[in-house]
Amino acid sequence: MKLLLENAHIEGIRFFEAYRKHGGYRSVEKALKMSPAEIVEEVKKSGLRGRGGAGFPTGLKWSFLAKPEGIPRHLVCNADESEPGTFKDRYLMEFLPHLLIEGLITSSYALGSNATYIYIRGEYAWIPDILEQAIQEAKNNGFLGKNILGSGFDCEIYVHRGAGAYICGEETALIESLEGKRGNPRIKPPFPAVQGVWMRPTVVNNVETLAAIVPIINMGGEEYGKIGVGKSTGTKLISACGNLNKPGVYEIPFDLSVEDFIYSDEWCGGIPKGKKLKACIPGGSSVPILPANLLLTTAKGEKRLMNYESLSDGGFQTGSMLGSGGFIVLDEDQCVVKHTMTLAHFYMHESCGQCSPCREGTGWMWRILKNIEQGKGKMEDIDLLWDVQRRIEGNTICPLGDAAAWPVAAAIRHFRDEFEWHVLNPEEAQVRNFGLAHYADELLIQN
Amino acid sequence: MNIQFSEEKLNKVKEIIARYPEGKQKSALLPLLHLAQDEFGGWLDVPVMDYVAELLQLKPIEVYEVATFYTMFNTKPVGKYLLEVCKTGPCMLNGSDDIIKYIEEKLGIKPGETTPDGMFTLKPAECLGACGYAPMMQLGKFYKEHLTKEKIDALIDECREGKAKIN
Amino acid sequence: MSDQPLFKVTIDNVTVEVPAGTTILQAARQAGPEVAPPAMCYYSKLEGSGGKCRTCLVEVSKGSEKDPRPMPKLVASCRTTVMDGMEVKNYTSERVLDARAGVVEFLLINHPLDCPICDQAGECHLQDLAYEHGKAGTRYEFQRRTFEKHTLGDKIQLHMTRCILCYRCVMVADQLTKKREHGVLDRGEHAEITSYLEKNLDNEFIGNVIDVCPVGALTDKTFRFKNRVWFLKPLNAHRDCEKCCGKVTLWNRGDEVFRVTARKDQWGEVEDWICNDCRFDKKKTSDWVIEGPREIARHSVISANKYIGLKKPTETIDEVIGKKPRLFMDINKVSGVNRKDIDLSLIEGPAHSIDFDKDK
């Protein structure tokens, strides 16, 4: 069942005419006849969870928004998508810009935002034009601007381009950046719901979250909540990449098994050249990597499904997270140490430098990993690496510290033998990547 | 070089500032720096940043702080064509190392360097959000995806002939 | 404000009552130095400071009377306000001590450790922090970070390698002067304090950046390499100044004024800001009315008995560096001033060379 991408293949769906013809903007018409509180209630009933990575219930987040008299409120759309492995929001904005705009209008109405901003990562340099055109079309047709559809509600949507900083995906850093400052995350509290952009109450939501508001209003929160499994309601966009036959953006039902997603021809179509599955990061680079055996089945021996609960089954010991849905697959020839090293470099490069554990620790981890990868490591380095990540995690201002620590921790937890191999075989480690057993076919279930 | 936006660009500046609440014109800093970088040679020289500071009534240091924070703003001159090749996780899995090495050999420059003719700058980049279409690079405003050596050859030829679209 | 509700907070088993809105750190300071967490970036007189260095992390073991659940993560005590009935663990929490040891290690891995030639030595918060929470030796095996040299003018010396990016000096420039000319540029581990254009910082109050700097990143050029602070005698003094309060601490050796700073309280924070004239230009004792010796409450070697009761490292120097150190000279034989039997703080008035005369 597709809720977001159902019409993605239709010719000209990027433009208002085709989009409207296929049922577009119905949710705005419906929503403007409801009260803002009723819409928030529908979103709560839907059980929608933030699609940016944290999975926080959207309706609950909306209900936290402070509403003091006389102070404007703002909705900000987080389109800063920069988690390695994730590229779904780009797909939505590029091919279905009106879906996002539609969701934004309804959400702005629900939250009382008369000026709504889309903060898009600077590298997506051609997308603002697409969005601005969609905004203009919506405006020309009375869905944006003053007195929308005669409801008395005014709303403008502006596109604000970032300029290359992963950290601006963190909501308070995004707010700082939107204010024209360095993307240094703020120290919370106060939370954006009370003091956000320009010290006004602000809600920041991911692109996919806001797009999902459209089907929720169209079908009603309760109906939406029935789709899916447990607390994973609706559908999820997955960005599949790495060593796959058919990488790309997929809208999946939450009862899909990981195995089907990777191997079935309907989805990713398996691994190129018939190679074995070695490992996978199922939710964007920050979440723990899992070896194939633990990816396909949980430690309890159940089939693992593509949803919030199942992917995190077993905690960090034997599970991972759905995160933002960036599904990175590593085949048998890939080197976990090298892969972890590139991620460590990424976090070092993207640290804002504000707080000491992240500023100093991310670079330290990368340097140790580089040494091990290049065959210059010592056995003690593996324990040192563990100790460094442990002291970053949880001790930083924003979640970037955790995001940098978790991949390293998980790589050591599940692939320690591979790190040790690099230390013991320094010359070989320099010239070839290395794959170790943990393969799906062998299904070695560790308790 | 005369650091001054054209009438048309100044109108654009006004329009951008108007997107934000009154007195919050600092919010227009990132969009204006993009505009200035495109206009004044692909990088932000000190007079350019000072000009933007003046337009927004900011202290110059506030502009320097922001310009040096974001990777897309170049505070040193770059070549006409900036080849930003992604090298993070998923692109690495799909051979971005080889792509970078190939460009290095082909153009005779190291990462961060510019060719003597001022045409190309090679800049390895962190994740650009095109992981499913790896390996990839950003050239100007656009993404070049599923890169191969042949594609690189063709792209560089296009640039040399002035046919490559970057804006 | 008598109608303001008072909240009861317990920090390391010491209970205090503080007004609503007080931070854990401020409450702990009221409870006493024994339970107060260290702070490298927080500065009560600078708006918006704190939260960055993570040295003041504490464990909230009970959220409040109403909601007794503990907080899952350690919190920055300088930016977390108290709730009624809150219970906080600082020195009594293993988790806190471990995290803090981690922070000290992070702050030190790229620090040049050039204390022997650093003017801040002896009154450096990082030295204190390292002494109290750090380990001897380092696990960092890579080259330490360096920066291109930048100048901030003829009065203020910038040593970027020593900087811990507390942002205090940026806030001083923002909040005390009309026009800030220096700031934090670049990001991540390359983030640095500079004026970008080698501009001289020029403002009547900019000298205060030296006093707020917790380390030796910003030091007084008029005092540079002239003396060690522990050889100097701090004196309270004042003068009529039309720009500032004129209340300062003079750092004297005999009659000679080596340095002028603002008066600092036991947390190392200035009592009142002073102007550049008082700081840099009034270097004669006759410029000042001397009030008497100033007690330095808590800072490393210049305060007597600071380290009593602390656990000192048990390793010998040989063990730490792995070989016998080669001594160029025995300092006690050649220098008359470094004598165990002379306690500088016990000398009434300025110290004179006669005080150090061995044959006295």
Predicted confidence (pLDDT) per residue in A298-324, tens digit = 989 899 999 999 999 999 999 999 999
Q: Is the pLDDT of residue A66 over 80?
A: yes
Whether the Cβ atoms of residue A278 and residue A434 lie closer than 8 Å to each other: no
Measured CA to CA, the distance from residue A194 to residue A192 in angstroms comes to: 5
Q: If you average pLDDT over residues A9-17, what whole number do you get?
A: 95
Which H or E element spans position A75? strand A74-79
Measured CA to CA, the distance from residue B144 to residue B85 in angstroms comes to: 9
Mean pLDDT of chain B: 93
Q: Is B159 annotated as a binding residue?
A: no
Residue A205's SS3 state is strand
Residues of chain B with CATH 3.40.30.10: 81-160
Which residues in chain C have their CB less than 8 angstroms from residue A354's CB? 52, 165, 167
Residue A349's SS3 state is helix
Of A143, A115, A138, A135, the closest CA to residue A32 belongs to A143
Whole-Å CA distances, C250 to C121, C227, C238, C243, C284: 17, 13, 9, 18, 10
Beta partners for residue B139, in sequence order:
B83, B142
A162: domain CATH number is: 3.40.50.11540
Whether the Cβ atoms of residue A221 and residue A57 lie closer than 8 Å to each other: no
Of C108, C296, B48, B147, the closest CA to residue A359 belongs to C108
pLDDT, tens digit, 9 for 90 and up, residues C109-128? 999 999 989 999 888 999 98
Q: If you average pLDDT over residues C344-348, what whole number do you get?
A: 68
Measured CA to CA, the distance from residue B103 to residue C4 in angstroms comes to: 68
Is residue A94 in a domain? yes
Model pLDDT, residue A440: 43
Residue with token string 């723990």 = A288
End-to-end CA distance of chain A: 35
Residues A128, A34 within the same domain: yes
CB distance C73–A394 less than 8 Å? yes
Best residue of B126, B133, B142, B167 to probe chain A, by most A CBs closer than 10 Å = B126
Which residues in chain B have their CB less than 8 angstroms from residue C180's CB? 59, 61-62
CB distance C105–A391 less than 8 Å? yes
pLDDT, tens digit, 9 for 90 and up, residues C6-42? 999 999 999 999 999 999 999 999 999 889 999 999 9
Tally the C-alpha atoms within 13 A of residue C207's C-alpha that lie toward its C-beta: 24
CB distance B61–C184 less than 8 Å? no
Please, which residues have CB within 8 angstroms of residue A95's CB and are 6 or more apart in sequence? A8, A13, A14
A277: domain CATH number is: 3.10.20.600
Residue with token string 């997929």 = A250
CB distance A349–B126 less than 8 Å? yes
Strand order in the sheet with A115-120: A156-161, A115-120, A74-79, A202-206
DSSP C2-70: TTSPEEEEEETTEEEEEETT-BHHHHHHHH-TTTPPP-SS--TTSTT--SSS-TTEEEEEE--SS--PP
Model pLDDT, residue A35: 96
Of A301, B61, A220, A263, the closest CA to residue C201 belongs to B61
Domain regions of chain C by residue span = 6-107, 118-127+140-224, 317-356
- pLDDT confidence tier of residue C220, bands split at 50, 70 and 90: very high
Say if C6-107 and C118-127+140-224 have the same CATH topology: no
CB distance B129–A247 less than 8 Å? no
> Side chain identity at C199, as an amino acid letter?
K
Tell me which DSSP letter residue C271 carries. Answer: S
Residues A113, A205 within the same domain: yes
Percent residues over pLDDT 90 in chain C: 61
Please state which of the ranges A58-67, A179-188, C125-134 shows the lowest mean pLDDT.
C125-134
pTM comes to: 0.91
- pLDDT confidence tier of residue A443, bands split at 50, 70 and 90: very low
Residues A38, A144 within the same domain: yes
CATH number of the C6-107 domain: 3.10.20.740
Best residue of A168, A349, A395, A397 to probe chain C, by most C CBs closer than 10 Å = A395
Tell me which DSSP letter residue A146 carries. Answer: S
C-alpha angle with apex A56: A54 to A62, nearest 5 degrees?
A: 130
Residues A99, A220 within the same domain: yes
Is residue A366 in a domain? yes
Q: If you average pLDDT over residues B1-25, what whole number do you get?
A: 93
Residue C198: closest C-alpha in chain B: B61
Residue A346's SS3 state is helix
Q: If you average pLDDT over residues B97-125, what whole number do you get?
A: 94
Model pLDDT, residue C284: 92
Cα dihedral sign for A347, C57, C49, A118?
Answer: positive
Model pLDDT, residue C323: 79
The residue among A207, A226, A245 that closes a domain is A226
Is residue A66 in a domain? yes
Q: Is the pLDDT of residue A404 over 60?
A: yes
> How many C-beta neighbours within 10 Å does residue B108 have?
11
- Chain C, 288 to 307: residues with Cβ < 8 Å from chain B are none
Q: Is the pLDDT of residue C174 over 50?
A: yes
Whether the Cβ atoms of residue A230 and residue A309 lie closer than 8 Å to each other: yes
Q: If you average pLDDT over residues B103-127, what whole number do you get?
A: 94
Q: If you average pLDDT over residues C242-250, what whole number do you get?
A: 93
Model pLDDT, residue C299: 61
Q: Is the pLDDT of residue B26 over 60?
A: yes
Model pLDDT, residue B1: 65
Could you check whether the bond before residue B60 is cis, i.e. omega within 30 degrees of 0?
Answer: no
Residues A318, A340 within the same domain: no
CA distance A38 to chain C (A): 30
C-alpha angle with apex A135: A132 to A136, nearest 5 degrees?
A: 90
Residues A251, A316 within the same domain: yes
C-alpha angle with apex A374: A371 to A380, nearest 5 degrees?
A: 40
Which residues in chain A have their CB less than 8 angstroms from residue C186's CB? 353
Query: A416 touching C, CB under 8 A?
Result: no
Assigned token pair, B119: 């045409």
- pLDDT confidence tier of residue C178, bands split at 50, 70 and 90: confident
Model pLDDT, residue C333: 66
Model pLDDT, residue A441: 42
Residues A297, A365 within the same domain: no
The residue among A331, A363, A398 that closes a domain is A331
Please, which residues have CB within 8 angstroms of residue A23's CB and are 6 or more apart in sequence? A7, A218
Assigned token pair, B15: 């329009």
Residues A153, A48 within the same domain: yes
Query: B134 touching A, CB under 8 A?
Result: yes
- pLDDT confidence tier of residue C198, bands split at 50, 70 and 90: confident
Is residue A93 in a domain? yes
Is residue A10 in a domain? no
Percent residues over pLDDT 70 in chain B: 99
Query: C290 touching A, CB under 8 A?
Result: no
Is residue A7 in a domain? no
Residues A161, A244 within the same domain: no
Q: Which CATH architecture has domain B7-69?
A: Orthogonal Bundle (1.10)
Residue B38's SS3 state is helix
Structural domain including A374 reads 336-440
pLDDT, tens digit, 9 for 90 and up, residues C63-92? 999 999 999 999 999 999 999 999 999 999
Measured CA to CA, the distance from residue C210 to residue C201 in angstroms comes to: 12
Domain count across chain A = 3
End-to-end CA distance of chain C: 58
Q: Is the pLDDT of residue A447 over 50?
A: no
CA distance C78 to chain B (A): 26
User: Which subunits count as partners of chain C given 3+ CB pairs below 8 Å?
Assistant: A, B
A418: domain CATH number is: 1.20.1440.230
Q: Is the pLDDT of residue C350 over 80?
A: no
Mean pLDDT of chain C: 87
Which residues in chain A have their CB less than 8 angstroms from residue B132's CB? 87, 239-241, 247-249
Instruction: Cite the DSSP H helix spans in B95-148.
Output: 96-107
DSSP C171-185: HHHHHHSSS---EEE
Instruction: Cite the DSSP H helix spans in chain C.
Output: 24-31, 94-109, 125-133, 168-176, 208-212, 276, 317-321, 331-334, 353-356
The residue among A313, A331, A349 that closes a domain is A331
Residues A385, A320 within the same domain: no
Residues of chain B with CATH 1.10.10: 7-69
Residues A325, A368 within the same domain: no
Query: C187 touching B, CB under 8 A?
Result: yes
CATH number of the C118-127+140-224 domain: 3.30.70.20
Is residue A11 in a domain? no
Q: Which CATH architecture has domain B81-160?
A: 3-Layer(aba) Sandwich (3.40)
Residues A111, A150 within the same domain: yes
Q: Is the pLDDT of residue A437 over 60?
A: no
